[in-house]
Amino acid sequence: MISRRRLLAASVALPLAASVAGCVRHPSAPAVGTTRPLPIPPLTTGQVGADGVRRFELTARTGTTEMLPGKATPTWGYNGSVLGPALRARRGERVAFTITNNLPEATTVHWHGMRVPARCDGGPHQTIEAGGTWSPEWTVDQPAATLWYHPHPHGSTEKHVYRGLSGFFLIDDEHADGLDLPRRYGVDDIPLVIQDRRFAADGRLDETDSSTYGLLGDTIITNGISDAHLSVRTERVRLRILNGSSSRLFNLARSDDRPFDLIATDGGFLEKPLSLSRMQLSPGERAEIVLELRAGQTLTLRSLPIEPRAGLSDPAEFGFDDTFDILTLRAAPQLTPSPALPGALATITPLGAAATTRSFELQWYMINGQRMDMNRIDLTVQAGATEVWEVRNADNWPHNFHIHDVRFQVIGIDGLPPPQALSGWKDTVYTEPGRTYTLAMRFSGHTDPTYPYMYHCHLLHHEDQGMMGQFLVLGPGQQPAPMVMSGNDSGHGH
Ligand code: C2O
Ligand code: CU
Ligand code: CU
């Protein structure tokens, strides 16, 4: 143990120190050159067959994308050269997918935030070989939310996402239909994936792993391109924001420093709109915000330095000091009126007494002192059970914590109530060093003795390094019967 720690400590110090200078964009740097219109991912509602099943087709492929003006960047995408279509389905519907892998290597497609049977989860056990296909199918059974899909091949997730594979998955339901919110896709309801990238001079993505912390870019891309603007024609615009970065946190703010309204987090609507002037998002988290603009106004959505930094070894190494312009919003000279935001959005009922409490310590690419082993089931839970998970960041690094299949409530941070921005349903939460996050969740009725779900740090390099564990959801009397994988498949090399 000690020698491994020493080894890790040594490998941390040097490359991190070397990476500082390159990753800071000067806060006062003026916007250079011209902006391009924000690309809006095509919206796909699939095809509903006579059997009532909504069918979607996705093909993961290679291509080139003009991420930077005038440069051709080799990228990976679903049904296109980068990112993927925004998929849309309703609660209660049966959805089915045909996913083809036209990449030169194996991948998976995981439905982040979705309640799904474990064999449809698209985690590291549902590999799609190069040239292969995969056809998961399930019934959507959760409230309206902004989810996303992305690759999850064990040990290569960071690389696959970095090259461009990510897409939105929007869930609708009757309750959301009844809320008077901006809802015209691409007009006043805008999906926005924010990612940091680093480019070589020829426009290729720089994949040199500049730190053991993970890829940290110096250029922001939104929906796949740098320096984008959005033309706004309504008084209010709803942004469904996803932090799709490998390791970078964002602290979002308006350039005029006025507040905006947070209406939803990872798993659905807050009880009521929350007025904020800053919104922090760690990798994998989503936030739906509504911005109000004045006619003719030009506004920039920015990311400011990350504020909570107690206990971090060196915040600058993790990009915490950086400032970026994310997206320019340009309001038309005349704006269509938007209705005022509803006063109430949802009812969030506390989950109540838990059958089981478990503890998780995050440190050194490990959870509870162990790295991921595809052949080790770390825990089993009972279908339908309510549990409390106490997650502590025992490290001096930033980490976050994501759980597959469930939405959770953050019921305490070091025993105190969480800030209001964490009062809604979550599936990923940032964990500050030294703090304990108490999460309450109810597991689904999808049981499977063979295929596990994952929980992990969503800083993708950490996840790839094995900061991940596996759990089975079992029915009454059901015994675990995990698949045993052979040799090289069982874990990942160091
Ligand atoms: Cu966003 Cu295990 O995933
Ligand atoms: Cu997930
Ligand atoms: Cu981590």
Three-class DSSP labels, 435-462: CEEEEEEECCCCCCCCCCEEEECCCHHH
Q: Is the dihedral of CA 26, 27, 28, 30 positive or negative?
A: positive
Share above pLDDT 70 across residues of the chain, in percent, rounded to a whole number: 91
Give the confidence band of 352 by pLDDT, cuts at 50, 70, 90. Answer: confident
> How large is the average pLDDT for residues 264-283?
98
pLDDT recorded at residue 484:
78
From the CA of 113, give the closest atom in ligand 1: 1
pLDDT at residue 211, rounded to an integer: 66
Helix (H) or strand (E) holding 12: helix 2-19
Tell me, using a 6 A CB cutoff, whether residue 110 lines ligand 1.
Answer: yes
117-121, 303-307, 335-339, 352-356: least confident range = 352-356
State the amino acid at position 62 in one-letter form. T
**Number of residues that this document lists for the chain:** 494
pLDDT score of 487 more than 80: no
* DSSP H or E segment with residue 177: helix 174-177
C-alpha 365 to ligand 3 mean position (Å): 6
- Is the shortest distance between the CB of 402 and ligand 1 below 6 Å? yes
CA of 410 to the centre of ligand 2 (A): 17
- 284-301 pLDDT tens trace: 999 999 999 999 999 999
Per-residue confidence (pLDDT) for residue 33, from 0 to 100: 62
Looking up tokens 């596990």 gives 452
Is any ligand 1 atom within 6 A of the Cβ of residue 125?
Answer: no
Residue 22 has pLDDT above 90, yes or no: no
pTM score of the predicted model: 0.92
| Residues 6+ away with beta carbon under 8 Å from 350 | 409, 411, 440
Domains of the chain, start order: 36-173 (2.60.40.420), 180-336 (2.60.40.420), 356-474 (2.60.40.420)
Using pLDDT thresholds of 50, 70 and 90, give the confidence band for residue 6: very low
Average pLDDT of the chain, as a whole number: 92
pLDDT of residue 9: 34
Reported as a pLDDT band with limits 50, 70 and 90, residue 336 is very high
Strand order in the sheet with 225-226: 225-226, 219-222, 189-197, 236-243, 286-292, 260-265, 268-276
Q: What is the Å distance from ligand 1's center to 206 Cα?
A: 23
**Contact between 62 and 68 (Cβ < 8 Å):** no
Vertex 250 angle, CA 249 and 251, to 5° = 130
201 contacts: CB under 8 Å, gap ≥ 6: none
**Interval between CA 84 and ligand 1 midpoint (Å):** 16
208-233 pLDDT, tens digit per residue, is 866 667 889 999 999 999 999 999 99
8 A C-beta contact, residue 264 and residue 270: yes
Work out the pLDDT band at 21, boundaries 50, 70, 90: very low
Pairing of strands 408-413, 366-367: unpaired
Q: Which residues are found with C-beta within 5 Å of the ion, ligand 2?
A: 112, 404
Residue 302 has pLDDT above 80, yes or no: yes
